[in-house]
Amino acid sequence: MKKILIVDDEPNIVMSLEYIFKKENFEVFIARDGSEAIEIAEDNLPDIILLDIMMPNVDGYQVLKHLKKNPKLDNIKVLFLSAKNKVSDIELGLQLGADKYISKPFSTKKLVKEVKELLK
């Protein structure tokens, strides 16, 4: 069973993504901010992380930088899922090492398809 970590401070998004990915037979972990995301990633080594950027305390960019610096975590796939949709935001996310960047609002069908593609 593939493991997915959903990192977002928006409860409605977390609930719907958790439901969708459990239905797709993923083991789902939830983090509500960046520091919790790092802790959960270190403890559970997910296959992929759906990562919001704008969160309290530690933002998504900082989480990604932390993951890429840690040899134990640097091969985890990261898909940014963010309302920040300027070209400069997307480019920064990809430059930092994200595997994919999807802007909110998003199609859940497209998201599931992208996650499965990244995990092939």
Domains along the sequence of the chain with CATH: 3-118 (3.40.50.2300)
Residues 106-113: contacts with CB under 8 Å, at least 24 apart: 106/81, 108/16, 108/17, 108/20, 111/17, 111/20, 111/50, 111/79, 111/81, 112/20, 112/21, 112/24
Q: H or E element: which one contains 53?
A: none
Residue 9 DSSP symbol? S
Q: What is the rounded distance in angstroms from the CA atom of residue 20 to the CA atom of residue 26? A: 9
Picking from 14, 72, 119, the residue whose alpha carbon sits closest to that of residue 5 is: 14
Taking 50 as the pLDDT cut, the residues of the chain under it are: none
Separation of alpha carbons 106 and 113, rounded Å: 12
What pTM did the predictor assign? 0.96
What is the predicted pLDDT for the residue at 56? Answer: 85
Instruction: Report which residue type is found at 62.
Output: Q
Angle at 81 between CA 91 and CA 87, to 5 degrees: 25
